Amino acid sequence: MGCPVPWVLSAPTSPGSATCFGKGVNGQPHGWWQLSPRDRAEKDNSLGFFENQPHISHILLPVLSVGCYSRGGHEVIPVSLHTGISFPNTPYECCPKFRTYLGNPQLMEDVLVMHPKLKVQLMHMGYPYLEETKAILNVYPQVNVDVAVVDWRIPTTEFYNYLKALIDAGLEKRIMYGSDEMIWPDALDLSIKNIENAPFLNEEQKQDIFYNNAAKFFNIQQ
């Protein structure tokens, strides 16, 4: 794989994925070693890497994608991209440079055009950017979404409305399960329950969300 070992991180929401971002050697994000000192300073100032910004903007994605190709250059490691919103008071209590507009999935569109083989997993279904998420999924078949956090953090009715909108748009084969459970033990059971109890999902669609769609996206041999 093209990503140096210290920088390859397993995505927490889906099996078999890997992301090429996060803290690498000397605390620098992956891709930093590919930039000139001038470019490093420019990227740092524009993106605020060290402010724990959870969003990855369209400026950063080209940096990520460079190192995510396999040695043969024909396959890529799927990139998991944070989209949507976060918890209340995030800019005040966690991440000063957090901005909700950076969670818009359409910010990555130029990168998808530049790298047509790059597979991207949009975390949190792009919520609440529904129309933008549908647009990306319809045009770029190499993009999937996961339901992590949204399947337990927001009101169930709101989650169902958003999920059903994607199903009604014919995108049921592009939705993958996730929980983003880190320190909230109840979240895992609740997220599974909310998928199982969704009145508009048939059994095939549930199995697709829980496993089949991810198996295809991550090329998991059955």
The model's confidence at residue 74, banded by pLDDT at 50, 70 and 90, is: low
How far, in Å, are 59, 65, 201 from residue 17 at the CA level? 22, 14, 25
- As a whole number, mean pLDDT of residues 79-89 equals 88
Q: Where are the domains of the chain?
A: 5-217
**Residue 41: Cβ-neighbour burial (10 angstroms; 0-12, 13-18, 19+):** exposed
The model's confidence at residue 221, banded by pLDDT at 50, 70 and 90, is: confident
Q: pLDDT of 41-73, one tens digit each?
A: 444 443 333 333 334 444 445 445 454 555 555
Strands 120-123 and 143-146, how do they pair? parallel
- Predicted TM-score (pTM) of the model is 0.72
**Residue 32 reports pLDDT greater than 80:** no
- As a whole number, mean pLDDT of residues 126-142 equals 97
Q: Give 5-217's CATH code, choosing from 2.60.40, 1.25.40, 3.20.20, 1.10.1790.
A: 3.20.20
pLDDT for residue 193: 96
